[in-house]
Structure 1
Amino acid sequence: MNDQHKVRFEPVGIEIEVSEDETVLDAAFRQGVMLMHGCKEGQCSACKSFLLDGDVQMDRYSTFALADYESDEGYVLLCRSHAYSDLQVELINFDEEMIHSGLPVVTVSTEIMSMTDLSRDITRLVLRIVEGELRFYPGQYVDIRIPDHDEHRSFSMAAPASPDGTLEFIIKRYPGGHFSGLLEGQLDVGDKLDVTGPYGTFTLKASSERRLVFAAGGAGMAPMLALLRQMAESRNEREVVFYYGARTEADLISLEDIAELRERLPQLTFVPCLSESWPEDWNEATTGFVHDVVGRHEDSLSSCDVYLCGPPPMIDAALGLLSEVGVPREQIHFDKFTITAESGND
């Protein structure tokens, strides 16, 4: 029997209905309530909350996301939690501006318009929606289903929604990657792909006028481009400095897009950072890992809104820096690219 239960979220006072066969997070998505989340697979802890009352059972998760002692104290991961009674849940991380503006999660059919290699291991993928309608905010991501499989991979859009229904992605290719590996000769223009979303709360907060600091590495370029393009379209005049980390000069991507954005956003400063090798005339102050460069260049981070996107080591190092210099938690926004638990790829 698949019973229905009510879940009330405090301190925001929002109530949803949830079936026993769906997670609390999925039920929220279905009803257009955008709770804080990340990987949706029990690995990142972004949706960690406190169970005030009720009975839940959790699917398998990583103890890095929820330690055993936290579970014993009553903490839960909403992406793994199934309700078996009415629940009262205290949200730990939430954004009231975002939570009330959620868009229902839908599945649309798309076809591949183009695939272009941007570097030795990064591809620009452009899809066109051929059936359905997908609304999303710049900075959000979708799940792309792997053809002929039940599995999916998550990728951020690199541009705001367009009238013609195109979706642009910047995807890092991994050897043997279940989806990214298909970009090396197995997928072709015209192939169909199912896309589900939107997900994510990595969006520009309109209520703030603080100076912006962006820091990204690799395919983390994608949501940053989406946010910058949104700023250009809306003529947002906030000052923004974008630090982008790559290994070598050959790994720097989307430089033409950044140059075009700088013409439309005169308040944008772009700082490329190289960690492994650099030209002889390279500015020594921008060598090293991206968080190190940010630390050397920025002396008033606590007065900025900071947006981070990239692989876990980069995000963890940057969060450590921000904690050291006293940046308030509400001014930090990050999108951590987690590795899929079962395959270790994509």
Structure 2
Amino acid sequence: MADKHRISFEPVDIDMEVGEDEKILDAAFRQGIHLMHGCREGQCSACKSYVLEGEIQMERYSTFACNDAEVEEGYVLLCRAHAFSDCTIELLNFDEEELLNSAPLQQVRTEVLEIVPHTHDIVGLKLKPVDPAAYEFKPGQYADLTIPGSDEHRSFSMATTPSTPDHIEFVIKKYPGGRFSALLENGIAVGDTIELTGPYGNFTLKSGHALPLVLMAGGAGMAPVLGLLRYLSETEDTRRIRFYYGARTSADLFYLDEIRVLGERLADFEFVVALSESTDGAERLGVHIEPGMVTDVVEAAEPELHRTEVYLCGPPPMVDAALALAARQGVPDDQVFYDKFTTSVTDDQ
């Protein structure tokens, strides 16, 4: 059995135990401590922290997330870090509301209820929790789904809310050569079993907040934003809410009817679609269409962006452009929340 060590987190005054064979972030999840995180693959820097005392070694990671100079100073990525002594770690990013108040990490055996093609490259997957028959999470979070017949997993955001405990819905983009998405075309069928581990992620609505909301998404980034929107509609939120969705053409749009219905239950809601390549055929869809990149559309439509909370989810180029926009508009960091979909590590140690 691997040796165990004590980790003390500052400035939050939280202690926990970690084995040398497990990553610090995983140990935190296991003990109900919800540290800030994103990709969990050493690429996004959301879990970057500073080692005040102790011996830590990291598995391979992207130097874009933590460069060599930072490592020399003592910075680490908790998702890649193993402790080999008792350690004191300073958390650089943390949410006091969620640290000890998030849904616990669960392992759930699920059954495939439905596989629906939304567009040529977006598929909807609906799962039923079987063992246990309940799954606790917050709207906007994601889960790991194990690839059937392997020990590998892929991470996907949930589009549902806890108000539908009989099913969990995912929106999955198909990539050429993608192992999981290929199985959705030929290999996974209704009735099959898929193992789920979750929830993960900090892309959640913050209780007690009153600022207007700007939601931005692209591609399969629709999933967590739709989860937030469903929850906002269920709770009849009275804030100003604007949802901007970026796609290439009208053929890449889906969930339009449901978004319209959800918006009707909200006091001040508008849905705007930005089409970057062509608006042909969009006029018959009955939604507000603007030509161009979604970030350009938001910049033109939201001159008071700094007075809102901004939620972003989608492919890295979209999220990077949206973060740059938020910075230009002076949006405080604690008013920006995002999920950036990542791929495998290409620049690693």
Output the TM-score relative to the length of structure 1: 0.96
Whether contact under 8 Å (1:33, 1:103) holds in the other structure is no
Letter in 2 for 1:76: V
Deviation string, structure 1 residues 288-341 (Cα, Å, up to 9, x no partner)? 111111111110111110000001000111111111111100000000011133
Q: Distance in 2 between matches of 1:106 and 1:48?
A: 24
Question: Identity, % of aligned pairs?
Answer: 54
In structure 1, stretches of 5+ residues that fail to align are none
* Equivalent residue number for residue 290 of structure 2: 286
Letter in 2 for 1:324: R
Deviation string, structure 1 residues 214-267 (Cα, Å, up to 9, x no partner)? 000010010111111111222221111000000001101110110110121132
* Equivalent residue number for residue 159 of structure 2: 158
Letter in 1 for 2:228: L
* Equivalent residue number for residue 220 of structure 2: 219
Give the 3-state SS of the residue equivalent to 1:286 in structure 2.
strand
The more displaced of 276-285 and 266-275 is 276-285
Q: Does 1:94 align with 2:94?
A: yes
Q: Quick one: which of 306, 310, 315 aligns to 1:306?
A: 310
Question: Kindly tell me: are residues 36 and 15 of structure 1, through their superposed partners in 2, closer, same or farther at Cα, counting changes over 3 Å?
Answer: same
* Equivalent residue number for residue 65 of structure 1: 65
Letter in 2 for 1:310: G
Letter in 2 for 1:193: I
Letter in 2 for 1:17: E
Aligned Cα root-mean-square deviation (Å) = 1.6
Whether contact under 8 Å (2:112, 2:193) holds in the other structure is yes
Q: Distance in 2 between matches of 1:284 and 1:138?
A: 25
The more displaced of 81-90 and 277-286 is 277-286
Whether contact under 8 Å (2:230, 2:262) holds in the other structure is yes
Q: Distance in 2 between matches of 1:151 and 1:129?
A: 20
Question: Kindly tell me: are residues 161 and 285 of structure 1, through their superposed partners in 2, closer, same or farther at Cα, counting changes over 3 Å?
Answer: closer
Equivalent residues in 2 for 1:5-44, closer than 5 Å? 5-44=5-44
Letter in 2 for 1:298: E
Whether contact under 8 Å (2:143, 2:199) holds in the other structure is yes
Output the TM-score relative to the length of structure 2: 0.95
Question: Kindly tell me: are residues 280 and 176 of structure 1, through their superposed partners in 2, closer, same or farther at Cα, counting changes over 3 Å?
Answer: closer
* Equivalent residue number for residue 113 of structure 1: 113
Q: Distance in 2 between matches of 1:80 and 1:46?
A: 12
Whether contact under 8 Å (2:239, 2:267) holds in the other structure is no
* Equivalent residue number for residue 203 of structure 2: 202
Whether contact under 8 Å (2:109, 2:194) holds in the other structure is yes
Q: Distance in 2 between matches of 1:285 and 1:108?
A: 40
Whether contact under 8 Å (1:285, 1:293) holds in the other structure is no
Letter in 2 for 1:255: L
Whether contact under 8 Å (2:43, 2:64) holds in the other structure is yes
Q: Quick one: which of 326, 333, 346 aligns to 2:330?
A: 326
Whether contact under 8 Å (1:312, 1:336) holds in the other structure is yes
Whether contact under 8 Å (1:8, 1:14) holds in the other structure is yes
* Equivalent residue number for residue 262 of structure 1: 263
Q: Distance in 2 between matches of 1:61 and 1:137?
A: 28
Deviation string, structure 1 residues 196-216 (Cα, Å, up to 9, x no partner)? 001001000112100000000
Q: Distance in 2 between matches of 1:124 and 1:285?
A: 24
* Equivalent residue number for residue 104 of structure 1: 104
Q: State the 1:166 CA deviation.
A: 0.7
Q: State the 1:19 CA deviation.
A: 0.9
Q: State the 1:285 CA deviation.
A: 8.0
* Equivalent residue number for residue 341 of structure 1: 345
The more displaced of 102-111 and 138-147 is 102-111
Q: Quick one: which of 292, 296, 301 aligns to 1:297?
A: 301
Runs of 4+ aligned residues of structure 1 deviating over 4 Å after TM superposition are 280-285
Q: State the 1:14 CA deviation.
A: 1.3
Q: State the 1:284 CA deviation.
A: 10
Q: Distance in 1 between matches of 2:288 and 2:224?
A: 27
Q: State the 1:279 CA deviation.
A: 2.7
Question: Kindly tell me: are residues 187 and 281 of structure 1, through their superposed partners in 2, closer, same or farther at Cα, counting changes over 3 Å?
Answer: closer
Whether contact under 8 Å (2:250, 2:282) holds in the other structure is no
Give the 3-state SS of the residue equivalent to 1:134 in structure 2.
coil
Q: Distance in 1 between matches of 2:282 and 2:43?
A: 42
In structure 2, stretches of 5+ residues that fail to align are none
